[in-house]
Structure 1
């Protein structure tokens, strides 16, 4: 059964994984995020919903 032969596919998987982790990932992580996270404090209490039938 040729499906069980991991000879070519294991090598392809390893090469793909190394390419992704060593070449592509550092390039993606080097981008500067435009929205920096900011700690927001909520000072106002939300008003409850007023239902028209009550």
Structure 2
């Protein structure tokens, strides 16, 4: 059963993760978000009960 032999697939997986961690992740983390979060005050609205017609 070839799927139980980890020799070719482990090296491919390890190489892929190393490329991701070394190259792709720093490039993705360097982007500035287009809509940064801001500290807005909590706006609480007054809720009123719904006037159900059958009560």
Q: Shorter-chain TM-score category?
A: 0.7 to 0.9
Match of 2:19 in 1: 19
Residues 10, 44 of structure 1: alpha-carbon distance in 2 compared, 3 angstrom cutoff: closer
- What is the TM-score with the length of structure 2 in the denominator? 0.77
Match of 1:29 in 2: 29
SS at match of 1:28: helix
Paired positions, count: 54
- Which deviations, in whole Å up to 9, do the C-alpha atoms of 1:5-30 show, x marking residues without a partner? 00000000000000111100000000
* Structure 1 unaligned regions, length at least 5: none
